[in-house]
């Protein structure tokens, strides 16, 4: 049994590409946690999408045994957390499960937005923070400047920042020593009733749901019955273990330890991040801050090939088993056929799920415009939740429409403040607060969620060169002048492109939409009017002119095979388009059309 | 029973894969080499003719085409040996057309009378442009004066002479093209191929285009205007279009190329040559190995693939609609096992792209400029 004083729990906070995963790899490697033979780059990122985008969606964890310079043996638990605003809640829970953080900053790049968003989670969780300047092997590295920036921008002492090259291995031992020296040992009472935090969970086809836990008090042993406080369910624990990073079974877990349990749980839905776990007959105070996952962004997912609908259903069922925050119901569209209306935590979550379906299940998808949940009050007093603009009732029956609002907190260096305020105003924001901390401004806005879900975060990053951090929480519903805007292509309405807009912004959005579509739809052999309309009134119109020339100059005997195959390929390419009347619309148009450039 | 290919005729294409230099726009199977063993190539071609002859005994051959590469670099004796083998192998039509592609340089012009003696009766000259600056940019080794001189020699030597011009070149204006085309037509020829410059991947132009370094190419509108102007000028000179890029006085069309466009059978021999041969009632695509050394070795020289009825129908339509004559829809139906969609034909007619009667479908003037779209529409599932 490890004494609490010899446990250190920590996470790594970093911006994408600042070397978080590589540093984690080096820590694992230099402590011989994984044999040379099993070592592969970015051990902790298990899913392809994570590897490719360099983001972590599920919390990953690894237990490292480390004998420090003082000769004592320590157990170091690293939790690697998702870094995106969509997963802010998951990040905040993971942060609560550890006592300290390594703040990794690329010494050639400096502090960036995501660093800030996550370091504030760490500060919120009262972490000790060890600053690390990574990539010092790069010629552009400037340790003094970046250390100063950490002090200025984040407000923590960076004088003792460790200089590391995760690539060459320089500074790794110093990092391990700093974890032992500077991070606090966890606190907890081994004799108190069991209290553990459910940090994350995921589905494994052999073991059922694997639950990542941090023990706060008491001991958890194999064979015990445990209770999840949020839903009062009881489970028989059939396996306990730790990650190295592969699973290793242990007999029990005590205070301060991080590990997993399995209990023949069938669905990830039954395990909620942030929940409190105790023994069956015990009563403990639930951990603060727990909230169930609520999808906030909805969109339609349709198979490109309508024969793949059943395959899509199967894929979505399986993904939902492993993702409690993802919801779905069947949807039919006049244009797109059968598909699913799905709910997500945010846009990255949407993209991740969509990519996984396309990649892991090999189903090509059409994604429709993301939308939020509107409350539509009809004249008879009834209220319906509108998840899909296509389902908007007849306007004559509507009394009023309410939309979800958020409280958005944005931190930004003051030189970008003007652009941020302009962006928030453009998105119908109402300023609630503006304060300064050194050269950083913090502004709080009341914004319609609808204006944020699509590309607010991208726009914010671009107007602030990545230096803004952004976080939000839902605050409730408010009435506004909201209407459904339809898009007509060659005089045919395309239901999948209809969207809810504020009346005052309808012309602008409509104009932007038809201009975008004009670029996204390939020229046809005839001219195509593209219109935006509210009810029967056209508010914007563009005409896509007819193609003028499409003929192969040379085609002789030797070209027959190649040209025939080219025609076949074009036919296959056409399958990726959807036909509306006589017009083929490429699938990417459905999502790209909604991206706003200004 | 007549077989489908008989509606198109029977010809032989022979590929000479060598060039003195590779042109930057060319994606044909051509190679530059220090020396060529003419004797070995001659023997290999003769043995290929004998091999294919055994599979196609008794057919009447309508045309022979020496393409490349640069077949005017062949030794006239090689051409002679090949023609002798052909005459031994197949009965030939009385008006057998024997075409050779030639570069318009003085060196080659000096060989014309020997080619004539070897049996060539038509040459197709790669003149490409009538101004020296553009010829240099296209990587051609002749200048305009030399080309015109070679054309004169050719006219005095052969019964029939055609040449190629390329337009839609970098920074070429509509009026520049108009002048150049009129100058060409004023030479009084009876056949000309007018190609819009096409940037092909894997060529020097293709690589430069990909990195944005090939500037001044015409946009879609100028391309369309140039094509339309080309049709008008040629019609005024009694050289109407009979195929997308080919123009001839009445009766002077290339018989050989019409075998392709009418979807006849053709033997393809030489590196990278393709053929279509109906063997034991099955239409077969043949395809010879591309690398000259590999081809000459004779090992695995040819691949064959049977074409499905639908493959044949698609090729028939794709080739046939290139002709102003159009196609017989009944022939499509026999090959495909189903008729073309009446509603799609009607749509295209309404758009003014197609004319259709019971026994003939052809594209209109406007349909020619959008032929790929017309084909996609007709062949859509």
Q: DSSP of A102-148, one letter per residue?
A: EEEEETTT---HHHHHHHHHHHHTT-EEEEEEE-TTSTT--HHHHHH
| Structural domain ending residue among the three candidates B259, B288, B313 | B259
B180 and B329 part of one domain: no
Name the residue among A417, A412, A467, A469 with its Cα closest to residue A111.
A467
Q: Tell if the CB–CB gap between B370 and A551 is shorter than 8 Å.
A: yes
Residue A567 has its nearest CB partner, among B273, B351, B379, at B379
Distance (Å) from the C-alpha of residue B327 to the closest C-alpha of chain A?
16
Residue A551 has its nearest CB partner, among B287, B314, B368, at B368
A554 touches chain B (CB under 8 A): yes
Left if phi > 0, otherwise alpha if psi is -120 to 50, otherwise beta: which for B329?
A: alpha
Distance (Å) from the C-alpha of residue B153 to the closest C-alpha of chain A?
27
Please state, in angstroms and rounded to a whole number, the distance separating the CA atoms of residues B14 and B65: 6
User: A566: Cβ–Cβ under 8 A, 6 or more apart, which residues?
Assistant: none
| Structural domain ending residue among the three candidates B206, B224, B259 | B259
pLDDT tens-digit series, residues A85-133: 677 788 888 899 999 999 999 998 777 666 777 788 888 889 999 999 9
B227 and B373 part of one domain: no
A582 touches chain B (CB under 8 A): yes
B64 and B169 part of one domain: yes
Q: Give me the domain span that covers residue B373.
A: 325-381
Please state, in angstroms and rounded to a whole number, the distance separating the CA atoms of residues B227 and B205: 21
B217 and B346 part of one domain: no
- In this prediction, residue A596 carries a pLDDT of 52
Number of domains in chain B: 2
> Does residue B318 lie within any of the structural domains?
no
> Does residue B190 lie within any of the structural domains?
yes
The maximal CA–CA distance of chain B, rounded, in angstroms, is 58
Mean of per-residue pLDDT scores for chain A: 87
Left if phi > 0, otherwise alpha if psi is -120 to 50, otherwise beta: which for A574?
A: alpha
> Does residue B183 lie within any of the structural domains?
yes
B219 and B337 part of one domain: no
Mean pLDDT (whole number) for B52-70: 96
Q: Which CATH number belongs to the domain containing residue B194 in this structure?
A: 3.20.20.70
Q: How many beta-carbon pairs below 8 A join chains A and B? A: 97
Mean of per-residue pLDDT scores for chain B: 95
Distance (Å) from the C-alpha of residue A368 to the closest C-alpha of chain B?
26
> Which residues on neighbouring strands pair with residue A329, listed in sequence order?
A341
User: A418: Cβ–Cβ under 8 A, 6 or more apart, which residues?
Assistant: none
pLDDT tens-digit series, residues A216-259: 999 999 999 999 999 899 999 999 999 988 889 999 999 999 99
Q: Tell if the CB–CB gap between B285 and A561 is shorter than 8 Å.
A: yes
On chain B, the residues whose CB falls within 8 A of the CB of A550 are 369-373
Please state, in angstroms and rounded to a whole number, the distance separating the CA atoms of residues B182 and B178: 6
Residue B372 has its nearest CB partner, among A550, A564, A582, at A550
> Does residue B316 lie within any of the structural domains?
no
Residue B237 pLDDT level (bands cut at 50, 70, 90): very high
> Does residue B277 lie within any of the structural domains?
no
Please state, in angstroms and rounded to a whole number, the distance separating the CA atoms of residues A152 and A154: 6
Residue B370 has its nearest CB partner, among A550, A553, A571, at A550
Residue B244 has its nearest CB partner, among A524, A553, A560, at A553
- Tokens 């946690």, located at residue: A33
Handedness of CA B74, B80, B81, B85 (dihedral sign): positive
Please state, in angstroms and rounded to a whole number, the distance separating the CA atoms of residues A573 and A595: 24
B342 and B253 part of one domain: no
**Chain B interface, best mutation among A553, A567, A571, by max B CB count within 10 A:** A553
Q: With contact defined as beta carbons under 8 Å apart, do B344 and A525 qualify?
A: no
Distance (Å) from the C-alpha of residue A562 to the closest C-alpha of chain B?
10
Please state, in angstroms and rounded to a whole number, the distance separating the CA atoms of residues B361 and B358: 8
Distance (Å) from the C-alpha of residue A544 to the closest C-alpha of chain B?
14
Q: Tell if the CB–CB gap between A564 and B314 is shorter than 8 Å.
A: yes
On chain B, the residues whose CB falls within 8 A of the CB of A570 are 376
Distance (Å) from the C-alpha of residue A548 to the closest C-alpha of chain B?
6
A525 touches chain B (CB under 8 A): yes
Q: Tell if the CB–CB gap between A552 and B198 is shorter than 8 Å.
A: yes
Please state, in angstroms and rounded to a whole number, the distance separating the CA atoms of residues A293 and B281: 68
On chain A, the residues whose CB falls within 8 A of the CB of B197 are 553
Helix (H, G, I), strand (E, B) or coil at B209: helix
Token pair listed for B323: 């002709």
- Name the E strands within chain B: 10-16, 61-68, 92-102, 122-128, 160-167, 191-196, 241-243, 246-248, 265-269, 274-279, 282-288, 302-306, 354-357, 360-363
Helix (H, G, I), strand (E, B) or coil at B251: coil
Percent of all residues in chain B with a pLDDT value above 90, rounded to a whole number = 92
Name the residue among A385, A396, A424, A397 with its Cα closest to residue A408.
A424
Residue A564 has its nearest CB partner, among B220, B268, B315, at B315
| Structural domain ending residue among the three candidates B237, B259, B281 | B259
Handedness of CA A574, A580, A585, A591 (dihedral sign): negative
Angle between helices B76-89 and B38-55 (to 10 degrees): 20
DSSP type of residue B340: P
Name the residue among B133, B137, B237, B124 with its Cα closest to residue B178.
B237
Helix (H, G, I), strand (E, B) or coil at B341: coil
Please state, in angstroms and rounded to a whole number, the distance separating the CA atoms of residues B180 and B135: 13
B255 and B329 part of one domain: no
A571 touches chain B (CB under 8 A): yes
Mean pLDDT (whole number) for B201-215: 91
Other CB atoms within a 10 A radius of the CB of residue A52 amount to 11
> Does residue B198 lie within any of the structural domains?
yes
CA of A183: how far to CAs of A78, A79, A186, in Å? 12, 14, 9
Angle at A97 between CA A92 and CA A100, to 5 degrees: 90
The ipTM, to two decimals, is 0.94
- In this prediction, residue A54 carries a pLDDT of 44
Q: Tell if the CB–CB gap between A557 and B259 is shorter than 8 Å.
A: yes
On chain A, the residues whose CB falls within 8 A of the CB of B377 are 525
Residue A553 has its nearest CB partner, among B195, B314, B351, at B195
Q: Tell if the CB–CB gap between A556 and B381 is shorter than 8 Å.
A: no
B25 and B141 part of one domain: yes
Helix (H, G, I), strand (E, B) or coil at B330: helix
Q: Find the range with the poorest average confidence among A139-153, B68-82, B92-106, B181-195.
A: A139-153
Residue A224 C-alpha from the chain's centroid: 34
- In this prediction, residue A132 carries a pLDDT of 95
Residues of chain A with pLDDT under 70: 16, 36-59, 82-85, 112-114, 437-439, 575-576, 591, 594-598
Mean pLDDT (whole number) for B237-259: 97
Residue B273 has its nearest CB partner, among A553, A558, A568, at A558
On chain A, the residues whose CB falls within 8 A of the CB of B381 are 571
Token pair listed for A426: 């453009």
Q: With contact defined as beta carbons under 8 Å apart, do A346 and A85 qualify?
A: yes
Up-side HSE of residue A323: CA atoms within 13 Å toward CB?
A: 23
> Does residue B320 lie within any of the structural domains?
no
**Chain A interface, best mutation among B5, B8, B372, B380, by max A CB count within 10 A:** B372
B249 and B331 part of one domain: no
Q: Tell if the CB–CB gap between B318 and A564 is shorter than 8 Å.
A: yes
Q: Tell if the CB–CB gap between A550 and B223 is shorter than 8 Å.
A: no
Q: Tell if the CB–CB gap between A549 and B223 is shorter than 8 Å.
A: yes
User: Looking at chain A, which residue has its C-alpha nearest residue B167?
Assistant: A553
What is the signed CA dihedral for A549, A553, A558, A560, rounded to 10 degrees? 20
> Does residue B298 lie within any of the structural domains?
no
Name the residue among A383, A409, A411 with its Cα closest to residue A397.
A383
**Chain B interface, best mutation among A560, A565, A571, by max B CB count within 10 A:** A560
Model pTM greater than 0.90? Answer: no
Q: Say how many residues make up chain A.
A: 598
User: Looking at chain B, which residue has its C-alpha nearest residue A548?
Assistant: B224
Residue B6 pLDDT level (bands cut at 50, 70, 90): very high
Please state, in angstroms and rounded to a whole number, the distance separating the CA atoms of residues A270 and A283: 20
**Chain A interface, best mutation among B10, B260, B264, B348, by max A CB count within 10 A:** B260
- In this prediction, residue A55 carries a pLDDT of 46
B244 and B371 part of one domain: no
B245 and B333 part of one domain: no
Q: Tell if the CB–CB gap between B376 and A574 is shorter than 8 Å.
A: yes
Please state, in angstroms and rounded to a whole number, the distance separating the CA atoms of residues A275 and A288: 9
User: Looking at chain A, which residue has its C-alpha nearest residue B68?
Assistant: A558
Residue A534 C-alpha from the chain's centroid: 33
């Amino acid at each position: 049994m490890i004494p609490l004083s010899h446990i250190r729990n920590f996470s790594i906070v970093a911006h994408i590409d600042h070397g978080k995963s590589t540093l984690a790899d080096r820590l694992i490697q230099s402590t011989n946690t994984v044999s040379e033979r099993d070592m592969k780059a970015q051990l902790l990122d298990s899913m392809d999408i994570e590897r490719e985008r360099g983001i972590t969606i599920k919390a990953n964890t690894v237990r490292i045994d480390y004998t420090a310079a003082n000769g004592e043996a320590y157990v170091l638990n690293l939790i690697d957390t998702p870094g995106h605003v969509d997963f802010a809640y998951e990040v905040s829970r993971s942060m609560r499960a550890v006592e300290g953080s390594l703040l990794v900053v690329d010494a050639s790049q400096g502090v960036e937005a995501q660093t800030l968003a996550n370091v504030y989670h760490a500060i919120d969780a009262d972490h000790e923070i060890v600053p690390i300047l990574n990539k010092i092997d790069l010629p552009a590295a400037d340790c003094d400047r970046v250390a100063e920036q950490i002090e200025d921008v984040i407000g923590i002492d960076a004088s003792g920042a460790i200089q590391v090259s995760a690539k060459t291995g320089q500074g790794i031992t110093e990092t391990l020593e700093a974890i032992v020296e500077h991070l606090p040992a966890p606190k907890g009472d081994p004799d108190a009733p069991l209290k553990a935090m459910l940090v994350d969970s995921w589905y494994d086809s052999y073991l059922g749901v694997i639950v990542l836990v941090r023990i706060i008090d008491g001991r958890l042993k194999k064979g015990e019955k445990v209770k999840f406080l949020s839903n009062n369910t009881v489970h028989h624990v059939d396996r306990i273990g730790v990650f190295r990073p592969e699973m290793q079974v242990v007999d029990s877990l005590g205070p301060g330890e991080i590990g997993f349990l399995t209990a023949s749980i069938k669905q990830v839905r039954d395990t909620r991040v942030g929940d409190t776990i105790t023994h069956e007959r015990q009563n403990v105070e639930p951990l603060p801050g727990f909230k169930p996952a609520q999808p906030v962004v909805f969109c339609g997912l349709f198979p490109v090939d309508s024969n793949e609908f059943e395959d899509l259903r199967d894929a979505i069922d399986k993904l939902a088993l492993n993702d409690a925050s993802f919801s779905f119901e069947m949807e039919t569209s006049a244009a797109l056929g059968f598909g699913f209306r799905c709910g997500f935590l945010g846009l990255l979550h949407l993209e991740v799920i969509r990519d996984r379906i396309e990649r892991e299940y090999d189903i090509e998808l059409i994604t429709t415009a993301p939308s939020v949940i509107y409350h539509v009050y009809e004249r008879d007093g009834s209220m319906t939740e509108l998840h899909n603009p296509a389902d908007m009732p007849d306007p004559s029956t509507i009394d009023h429409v309410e939309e979800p609002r958020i409280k958005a907190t944005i931190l930004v260096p003051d030189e970008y403040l003007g652009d941020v305020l302009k962006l928030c105003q453009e998105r119908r924001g109402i300023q609630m607060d503006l304060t300064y901390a050194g050269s950083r401004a913090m502004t709080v806005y009341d914004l319609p969620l609808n204006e944020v879900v699509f590309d607010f975060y991208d726009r914010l990053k671009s107007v602030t060169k990545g230096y803004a951090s952004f976080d939000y929480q839902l605050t409730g519903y408010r009435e506004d002048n909201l209407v459904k805007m339809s898009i007509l292509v060659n005089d045919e309405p395309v239901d999948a492109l209809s969207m809810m807009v504020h009346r005052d912004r309808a012309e602008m959005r409509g104009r932007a939409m038809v201009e975008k579509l004009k670029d996204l739809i390939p020229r046809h052999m005839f001219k195509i009017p593209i219109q935006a309309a509210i009810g029967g009134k056209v508010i914007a119109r563009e005409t896509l002119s007819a193609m003028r020339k499409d003929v192969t100059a040379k085609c002789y005997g030797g070209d027959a095979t190649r040209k025939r195959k080219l025609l076949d390929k074009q036919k296959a390419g056409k399958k990726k388009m959807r036909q509306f009347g006589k017009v083929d619309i490429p699938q990417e148009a459905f999502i790209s059309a909604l991206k706003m450039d200004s | 029973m007549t077989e489908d290919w008989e509606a198109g005729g029977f010809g032989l294409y022979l590929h000479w894969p060598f060039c003195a230099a590779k042109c930057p726009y060319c994606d044909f199977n051509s190679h530059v080499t220090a020396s060529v063993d003419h004797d070995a190539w001659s023997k290999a071609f003769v043995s290929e003719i004998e091999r294919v002859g055994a599979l196609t005994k008794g057919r009447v051959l309508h045309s022979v085409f020496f393409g490349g590469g640069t077949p005017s670099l062949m030794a006239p004796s090689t051409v002679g040996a090949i023609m002798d083998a052909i005459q031994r192998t197949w009965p030939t039509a009385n008006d057998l057309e024997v075409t050779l592609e030639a570069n318009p340089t003085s060196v080659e012009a000096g060989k014309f009378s020997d080619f004539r003696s070897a049996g060539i009766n038509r040459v197709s000259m790669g003149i490409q442009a009538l101004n020296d600056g553009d010829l240099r940019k296209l990587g051609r080794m002749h200048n305009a004066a030399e080309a015109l001189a070679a054309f004169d020699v050719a006219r005095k030597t052969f019964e029939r002479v055609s040449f190629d011009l390329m337009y839609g070149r970098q920074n070429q204006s509509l009026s520049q093209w108009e002048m150049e085309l009129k100058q060409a037509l004023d030479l009084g020829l009876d056949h000309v191929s007018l190609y819009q410059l096409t940037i092909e991947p894997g060529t020097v132009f293709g690589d430069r285009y990909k990195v944005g370094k090939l500037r001044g190419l015409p946009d879609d509108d100028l391309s369309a205007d140039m094509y339309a102007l080309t049709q008008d000028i040629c019609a005024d000179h009694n050289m109407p279009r009979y195929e997308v890029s080919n123009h001839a006085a009445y009766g002077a069309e290339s018989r050989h190329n019409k075998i392709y466009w009418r979807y006849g059978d053709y033997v393809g021999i030489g590196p990278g040559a393709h053929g279509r041969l109906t063997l034991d009632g099955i239409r077969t695509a043949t395809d010879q190995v591309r690398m000259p050394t590999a081809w000459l070795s004779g090992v695995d020289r040819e691949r064959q693939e049977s074409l499905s009825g639908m493959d044949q129908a698609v090729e028939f339509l794709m080739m046939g609609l290139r002709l102003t004559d159009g196609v017989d829809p009944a022939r499509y139906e026999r090959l495909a096992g189903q008729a073309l969609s009446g509603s799609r034909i009607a749509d295209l007619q309404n758009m003014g792209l197609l004319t259709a009667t019971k026994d003939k479908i052809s594209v209109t003037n406007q349909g020619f400029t959008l032929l790929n779209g017309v084909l996609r529409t007709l062949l859509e599932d």
